[in-house]
Amino acid sequence: LELPGCGGELNARQRGAYRLYWIALGLYCVLLPVAVKLTRHYHEWRWKPLFMLLPLAAVVLVLRGMALYFSAADEMQRRILAESCAYAFAISVFATIAVGFFEGTVIPPIDWSVRFSFMMVVWGVAAIITKKRYK
Amino acid sequence: VKNRVRDLRADREWSQAELAERLEVSRQTINAIETGKYDPSLPLAFRIAALFRNRIEEVFFPEK
């Protein structure tokens, strides 16, 4: 598994960013169930939504990892990342609009997290295809 | 845009990785430039030309 775009040879800064990215994702996987559990346990406490900020800290670290990775990439790698992100955005928007017409009638309503996951998968696939163009 | 990067690199007996290290870019970028799949930005083109002690128009030139 890799961040969309580069892969293969990573420089020292990219390796550091890559490590941070995966550690933060691991942290998210740990913090999310903890936050859910705490929220359920203290269900009467009025500040319980604060528990849900726990996984957000991990999300911030994930984004920090991605930003560091992007800043450590050279110009061609940045282009690949940006192009693939643009493709993913365009495809996801089209898919969301197209599915929106059928939602609630032919198909059941789709959760936003599914749409986001779809966009991430499309980003990954687009990055692989874009990378091949420059090989 | 065509270029003579591969020839100039070969003259100095540098590997793609070596040239990439000198220019602080990835080896894939050097490969893409040499094969004409990627046109470098003007600053990178200038750095490449300077590294080979050539003028930019001696390294990069338009396709006919």
Flag whether residue A8 sits within 8 Å of chain B, measured between CB atoms. Answer: yes
CA-to-CA distance for A46 and A39, rounded, in angstroms? 10
The reported pLDDT for the residue numbered A1 is 44
Interface-testing mutation among B19, B29, B31, with chain A (most A C-beta atoms within 10 A): B29
User: How many beta carbons lie within 10 A of that of residue A24, not counting itself?
Assistant: 21
Give which of A55, A80, A37, A76 is closest to B28, Cα–Cα.
A76
CB contact under 8 A, A135 and B37: yes
Q: Is B51 exposed, middle or buried (0-12, 13-18, 19+ CB in 10 A)?
A: middle
CA distance to partner chain A, nearest, from residue B11 (Å): 23
- Average of per-residue pLDDT across A20-41: 90
Q: Where are the alpha helices (DSSP H) in A53-74?
A: 53-72
CA-to-CA distance for B23 and B26, rounded, in angstroms? 9
CB contact under 8 A, B32 and A76: yes
Residue A20, C-beta contacts closer than 8 angstroms, at least 6 positions apart = A61, A64, A65, A68
DSSP B9-61: HHHTT--HHHHHHHHTS-HHHHHHHHTTS-PPPHHHHHHHHHHTT--HHHHEE
State the pLDDT confidence band at A103, using cuts at 50, 70 and 90: confident
Q: What is the pLDDT along chain B (64 residues), one digit of tens a residue?
A: 999 999 999 999 999 999 999 999 999 999 999 999 999 999 999 999 999 999 999 999 998 7
The interface pTM score, or ipTM, of the predicted complex is 0.87
Instruction: List B residues 2-61 in contact with A (Cβ-Cβ < 8 A).
Output: 24-29, 31-32, 37-38, 40-41, 44
Flag whether residue A43 sits within 8 Å of chain B, measured between CB atoms. Answer: no
CA-to-CA distance for B40 and B33, rounded, in angstroms? 7
Give per-residue pLDDT as tens, A72-92. Answer: 899 999 999 899 999 999 999
CA distance to partner chain B, nearest, from residue A75 (Å): 8
Give which of B26, B54, B64 is closest to A80, Cα–Cα.
B26
